Amino acid sequence: MAANVHDVIMLFGDSITQAGWAEDGFAARLAQVYARKLDVLNRGLSGYNTEWAIPVLEQMLATQQAQQHLPKVRLLVIWFGANDAVIKPFSQHVPLPKFIENMKYMVQLLHSPDSSHYSPTTKIILITPPPVNTYQRSADLASRNPPLEMDRLFETTKQYAEGVRDAAVASNVAVADVWTAMWNGAGENEQALSRYLSDGLHLTHEGYTASCSGPESVVRADRDKIAYETLIETIAAEYPELHYGNLRSVFPAWNEVDWANPGPSVQKRET
Protein backbone atom coordinates (compact mmCIF):
# COMPACT_ATOMS: atom_id res chain seq x y z
CA MET A 1 0.00 0.00 0.00
CA ALA A 2 1.05 3.57 -0.57
CA ALA A 3 2.36 5.09 2.63
CA ASN A 4 1.32 8.62 3.49
CA VAL A 5 4.45 10.50 2.38
CA HIS A 6 3.06 13.45 0.40
CA ASP A 7 0.30 15.89 1.26
CA VAL A 8 -1.97 16.63 -1.70
CA ILE A 9 -3.55 19.21 -3.95
CA MET A 10 -7.03 17.96 -4.88
CA LEU A 11 -8.58 19.23 -8.12
CA PHE A 12 -12.36 18.83 -7.98
CA GLY A 13 -14.50 19.76 -10.94
CA ASP A 14 -16.13 18.66 -14.21
CA SER A 15 -14.76 17.61 -17.60
CA ILE A 16 -12.51 20.67 -17.77
CA THR A 17 -10.74 19.40 -14.65
CA GLN A 18 -10.79 15.73 -15.73
CA ALA A 19 -9.12 16.71 -19.02
CA GLY A 20 -6.42 18.54 -17.04
CA TRP A 21 -4.18 15.48 -17.33
CA ALA A 22 -3.98 15.81 -21.11
CA GLU A 23 -0.54 16.86 -22.28
CA ASP A 24 0.19 20.37 -21.11
CA GLY A 25 -3.12 20.49 -19.23
CA PHE A 26 -3.20 22.43 -15.97
CA ALA A 27 -3.24 19.30 -13.79
CA ALA A 28 -0.17 17.84 -15.51
CA ARG A 29 1.64 21.17 -15.20
CA LEU A 30 0.80 21.41 -11.51
CA ALA A 31 2.02 17.84 -10.95
CA GLN A 32 5.26 18.78 -12.72
CA VAL A 33 6.05 21.86 -10.62
CA TYR A 34 4.95 20.19 -7.37
CA ALA A 35 6.88 16.95 -8.06
CA ARG A 36 8.41 15.54 -4.83
CA LYS A 37 6.50 18.18 -2.83
CA LEU A 38 2.74 17.58 -3.10
CA ASP A 39 0.76 14.94 -4.98
CA VAL A 40 -1.84 16.29 -7.40
CA LEU A 41 -5.06 14.24 -7.30
CA ASN A 42 -7.34 14.91 -10.26
CA ARG A 43 -10.93 14.40 -9.12
CA GLY A 44 -12.58 15.75 -12.26
CA LEU A 45 -15.98 14.24 -13.14
CA SER A 46 -16.93 14.80 -16.76
CA GLY A 47 -20.51 16.05 -17.18
CA TYR A 48 -21.19 16.54 -13.46
CA ASN A 49 -22.91 19.59 -12.02
CA THR A 50 -22.65 20.64 -8.35
CA GLU A 51 -25.83 18.76 -7.37
CA TRP A 52 -24.30 15.46 -8.41
CA ALA A 53 -20.78 16.41 -7.28
CA ILE A 54 -21.58 17.14 -3.63
CA PRO A 55 -22.35 13.51 -2.64
CA VAL A 56 -19.10 12.52 -4.40
CA LEU A 57 -17.03 15.18 -2.60
CA GLU A 58 -18.39 13.86 0.70
CA GLN A 59 -16.82 10.50 -0.20
CA MET A 60 -13.55 12.02 -1.44
CA LEU A 61 -12.86 13.85 1.82
CA ALA A 62 -11.96 11.86 4.91
CA THR A 63 -14.05 12.09 8.05
CA GLN A 64 -12.26 13.55 11.07
CA GLN A 65 -11.87 10.08 12.58
CA ALA A 66 -10.02 8.79 9.51
CA GLN A 67 -7.92 11.90 8.88
CA GLN A 68 -5.01 10.81 11.04
CA HIS A 69 -4.11 8.00 8.62
CA LEU A 70 -4.59 9.85 5.33
CA PRO A 71 -2.78 12.46 3.24
CA LYS A 72 -3.57 16.04 4.20
CA VAL A 73 -5.36 18.06 1.53
CA ARG A 74 -3.27 21.22 1.65
CA LEU A 75 -5.19 22.80 -1.23
CA LEU A 76 -8.63 22.00 -2.66
CA VAL A 77 -9.38 23.55 -6.05
CA ILE A 78 -13.09 23.57 -6.96
CA TRP A 79 -14.00 24.28 -10.59
CA PHE A 80 -17.68 23.99 -11.51
CA GLY A 81 -20.27 26.02 -13.38
CA ALA A 82 -19.77 24.95 -17.00
CA ASN A 83 -22.49 22.28 -16.63
CA ASP A 84 -24.61 23.92 -13.94
CA ALA A 85 -25.03 26.83 -16.39
CA VAL A 86 -26.66 24.62 -19.01
CA ILE A 87 -30.08 26.11 -19.75
CA LYS A 88 -33.43 24.45 -19.04
CA PRO A 89 -34.76 21.88 -19.83
CA PHE A 90 -31.40 20.11 -20.09
CA SER A 91 -30.75 17.74 -17.19
CA GLN A 92 -27.47 19.33 -16.08
CA HIS A 93 -29.14 22.68 -15.36
CA VAL A 94 -28.85 23.91 -11.76
CA PRO A 95 -30.57 27.24 -10.97
CA LEU A 96 -28.08 30.02 -10.19
CA PRO A 97 -29.09 30.52 -6.53
CA LYS A 98 -28.84 26.76 -5.93
CA PHE A 99 -25.43 26.69 -7.70
CA ILE A 100 -24.11 29.45 -5.43
CA GLU A 101 -25.53 27.63 -2.39
CA ASN A 102 -23.81 24.41 -3.52
CA MET A 103 -20.45 26.16 -3.95
CA LYS A 104 -20.73 27.56 -0.43
CA TYR A 105 -21.75 24.12 0.88
CA MET A 106 -18.61 22.52 -0.55
CA VAL A 107 -16.44 25.08 1.26
CA GLN A 108 -18.36 24.60 4.51
CA LEU A 109 -17.87 20.86 4.21
CA LEU A 110 -14.20 21.53 5.09
CA HIS A 111 -14.33 24.84 6.93
CA SER A 112 -17.35 24.45 9.22
CA PRO A 113 -16.44 23.15 12.71
CA ASP A 114 -19.77 21.31 12.63
CA SER A 115 -18.80 19.30 9.55
CA SER A 116 -17.78 15.65 9.92
CA HIS A 117 -15.14 16.49 7.26
CA TYR A 118 -13.86 19.57 9.09
CA SER A 119 -10.33 20.39 7.92
CA PRO A 120 -9.49 23.99 8.87
CA THR A 121 -5.93 23.75 7.51
CA THR A 122 -7.11 22.99 3.95
CA LYS A 123 -6.89 26.09 1.75
CA ILE A 124 -9.55 26.40 -0.93
CA ILE A 125 -9.59 28.10 -4.34
CA LEU A 126 -12.75 28.40 -6.44
CA ILE A 127 -12.19 28.72 -10.20
CA THR A 128 -14.74 30.52 -12.39
CA PRO A 129 -16.02 28.58 -15.42
CA PRO A 130 -14.61 29.71 -18.77
CA PRO A 131 -16.81 31.89 -20.98
CA VAL A 132 -18.79 30.05 -23.65
CA ASN A 133 -18.15 30.77 -27.32
CA THR A 134 -21.68 30.24 -28.59
CA TYR A 135 -20.51 30.50 -32.22
CA GLN A 136 -18.25 27.46 -31.79
CA ARG A 137 -20.61 25.62 -29.43
CA SER A 138 -23.70 25.91 -31.65
CA ALA A 139 -21.72 24.82 -34.70
CA ASP A 140 -20.36 21.83 -32.77
CA LEU A 141 -23.82 20.76 -31.58
CA ALA A 142 -25.34 21.26 -35.04
CA SER A 143 -22.66 19.01 -36.52
CA ARG A 144 -23.61 16.07 -34.29
CA ASN A 145 -25.65 13.18 -35.68
CA PRO A 146 -28.44 13.79 -34.89
CA PRO A 147 -27.89 17.55 -34.54
CA LEU A 148 -28.32 18.84 -30.97
CA GLU A 149 -30.03 22.01 -29.76
CA MET A 150 -27.97 24.83 -28.28
CA ASP A 151 -27.59 24.24 -24.53
CA ARG A 152 -25.62 27.21 -23.22
CA LEU A 153 -25.76 31.00 -23.43
CA PHE A 154 -22.90 33.44 -23.09
CA GLU A 155 -24.74 35.66 -20.59
CA THR A 156 -25.87 32.72 -18.46
CA THR A 157 -22.38 31.29 -18.02
CA LYS A 158 -21.17 34.82 -17.25
CA GLN A 159 -23.69 34.95 -14.40
CA TYR A 160 -22.47 31.61 -13.03
CA ALA A 161 -18.90 32.93 -13.10
CA GLU A 162 -20.10 35.92 -11.08
CA GLY A 163 -21.83 33.45 -8.76
CA VAL A 164 -18.50 31.70 -8.13
CA ARG A 165 -16.88 35.04 -7.25
CA ASP A 166 -19.79 35.81 -4.88
CA ALA A 167 -19.52 32.39 -3.24
CA ALA A 168 -15.77 32.83 -2.74
CA VAL A 169 -16.22 36.23 -1.07
CA ALA A 170 -19.07 34.96 1.12
CA SER A 171 -17.03 31.90 2.10
CA ASN A 172 -13.77 33.81 2.63
CA VAL A 173 -11.74 31.68 0.21
CA ALA A 174 -9.69 32.67 -2.85
CA VAL A 175 -10.96 32.74 -6.42
CA ALA A 176 -9.00 32.11 -9.64
CA ASP A 177 -10.96 34.07 -12.20
CA VAL A 178 -10.42 32.13 -15.42
CA TRP A 179 -13.60 33.58 -16.93
CA THR A 180 -12.27 37.14 -16.72
CA ALA A 181 -8.73 36.16 -17.73
CA MET A 182 -10.05 34.54 -20.92
CA TRP A 183 -12.54 37.32 -21.65
CA ASN A 184 -9.84 39.97 -21.33
CA GLY A 185 -7.40 37.84 -23.30
CA ALA A 186 -9.93 37.63 -26.12
CA GLY A 187 -10.32 41.42 -26.17
CA GLU A 188 -13.90 41.01 -24.88
CA ASN A 189 -14.80 39.48 -28.26
CA GLU A 190 -16.77 36.25 -28.01
CA GLN A 191 -15.62 34.86 -31.35
CA ALA A 192 -11.98 35.51 -30.38
CA LEU A 193 -12.42 33.07 -27.47
CA SER A 194 -11.68 30.35 -30.05
CA ARG A 195 -8.02 30.87 -29.16
CA TYR A 196 -8.79 29.34 -25.75
CA LEU A 197 -11.68 26.97 -26.50
CA SER A 198 -11.58 24.02 -28.88
CA ASP A 199 -15.35 23.59 -29.20
CA GLY A 200 -16.70 26.72 -27.53
CA LEU A 201 -16.93 24.97 -24.14
CA HIS A 202 -13.91 22.79 -23.43
CA LEU A 203 -10.21 23.42 -22.97
CA THR A 204 -9.72 19.82 -24.12
CA HIS A 205 -6.55 18.50 -25.76
CA GLU A 206 -6.97 16.97 -29.18
CA GLY A 207 -3.82 14.92 -28.97
CA TYR A 208 -0.15 15.60 -29.37
CA THR A 209 0.17 15.86 -33.15
CA ALA A 210 -2.85 18.07 -33.67
CA SER A 211 -1.69 20.25 -30.82
CA CYS A 212 1.61 20.84 -32.53
CA SER A 213 0.28 21.72 -35.95
CA GLY A 214 0.78 25.41 -36.49
CA PRO A 215 -2.00 27.62 -35.10
CA GLU A 216 -3.18 24.94 -32.69
CA SER A 217 0.10 25.13 -30.81
CA VAL A 218 -0.61 28.82 -30.26
CA VAL A 219 -4.08 27.97 -28.98
CA ARG A 220 -2.57 25.45 -26.56
CA ALA A 221 0.09 27.81 -25.31
CA ASP A 222 -2.39 30.63 -24.70
CA ARG A 223 -5.07 28.44 -23.22
CA ASP A 224 -2.70 26.74 -20.83
CA LYS A 225 -1.17 30.02 -19.84
CA ILE A 226 -4.63 31.24 -18.87
CA ALA A 227 -5.81 28.25 -16.82
CA TYR A 228 -2.50 27.27 -15.22
CA GLU A 229 -1.05 30.75 -14.73
CA THR A 230 -4.28 32.13 -13.27
CA LEU A 231 -4.29 29.36 -10.68
CA ILE A 232 -0.57 29.66 -9.84
CA GLU A 233 -0.85 33.45 -9.55
CA THR A 234 -3.77 32.97 -7.14
CA ILE A 235 -1.74 30.54 -5.03
CA ALA A 236 1.19 32.99 -4.97
CA ALA A 237 -1.03 35.91 -3.98
CA GLU A 238 -3.45 34.25 -1.54
CA TYR A 239 -1.64 31.21 -0.15
CA PRO A 240 2.07 31.88 -0.80
CA GLU A 241 3.06 29.20 1.74
CA LEU A 242 1.66 26.69 -0.77
CA HIS A 243 3.50 28.01 -3.83
CA TYR A 244 5.83 25.29 -5.10
CA GLY A 245 8.72 27.71 -4.82
CA ASN A 246 8.17 27.89 -1.06
CA LEU A 247 8.04 24.13 -0.48
CA ARG A 248 10.96 21.73 -0.26
CA SER A 249 11.17 18.17 -1.52
CA VAL A 250 9.91 15.56 0.94
CA PHE A 251 13.04 13.50 0.24
CA PRO A 252 16.45 15.20 -0.12
CA ALA A 253 18.24 15.93 -3.37
CA TRP A 254 20.68 13.21 -4.49
CA ASN A 255 23.71 15.34 -3.68
CA GLU A 256 22.45 15.75 -0.08
CA VAL A 257 22.53 11.97 0.46
CA ASP A 258 25.18 10.55 2.80
CA TRP A 259 26.75 8.10 0.36
CA ALA A 260 28.52 6.17 3.12
CA ASN A 261 25.30 5.60 5.08
CA PRO A 262 22.29 6.63 2.98
CA GLY A 263 19.44 5.47 5.25
CA PRO A 264 19.44 8.18 7.92
CA SER A 265 20.07 10.93 5.34
CA VAL A 266 16.99 10.13 3.22
CA GLN A 267 14.29 10.27 5.87
CA LYS A 268 11.00 11.93 4.96
CA ARG A 269 10.85 15.65 5.80
CA GLU A 270 8.01 18.14 6.09
CA THR A 271 7.64 19.73 2.68
* Enzyme catalytic residues: 15, 199, 202
Cβ-based nearer residue to a second copy, 155 or 259 = 259
- Give me the 214-253 binding string for a second copy, x by CB under 8 A, dash otherwise: ---x--xx--x--------------------------x-x
For the CB of residue 17, give the shortest distance to a second copy in the complex, in Å: 10
> Is residue 266 involved in binding a second copy (CB under 8 A)?
yes
> Among positive and negative, which fits the CA dihedral 75, 62, 13, 155?
negative
Q: What are phi and psi of 257, to 5 degrees?
A: -75, 140
Cβ-based nearer residue to a second copy, 67 or 194 = 67
List of residues 6+ apart from 45 with CB closer than 8 A: 13, 14, 15, 17, 18, 52, 53, 56
List of residues 6+ apart from 135 with CB closer than 8 A: 190, 191, 194, 200
> Is residue 112 involved in binding a second copy (CB under 8 A)?
no
The one among 31, 109, 174, 197 contacting a second copy by CB under 8 A: 31
- Rounded Cα distance between 241 and 245, Å, is 9
> Is residue 146 involved in binding a second copy (CB under 8 A)?
no
List of residues 6+ apart from 127 with CB closer than 8 A: 13, 77, 78, 79, 164, 175, 176, 177, 178, 230, 231
For the CB of residue 165, give the shortest distance to a second copy in the complex, in Å: 25
Residues numbered 159-218 forming contacts with a second copy, rule: CB under 8 A: 208-209, 211-212, 217
Q: Please, are residues 44 and 19 in contact by the beta-carbon 8 Å criterion?
A: yes
Residues numbered 44-63 forming contacts with a second copy, rule: CB under 8 A: 44-48, 51-52, 54-56, 59-63
Helices 96-111, 50-60: axis angle to 10 degrees equals 10
> Is residue 70 involved in binding a second copy (CB under 8 A)?
yes
Q: Which residues bind a second copy (CB under 8 A)?
A: 1-6, 8, 10, 18, 21-24, 27-29, 31-32, 35-36, 39, 41-42, 44-48, 51-52, 54-56, 59-63, 66-67, 69-73, 83, 91-92, 119, 208-209, 211-212, 217, 220-221, 224, 251, 253-255, 257, 259, 262-263, 266-268
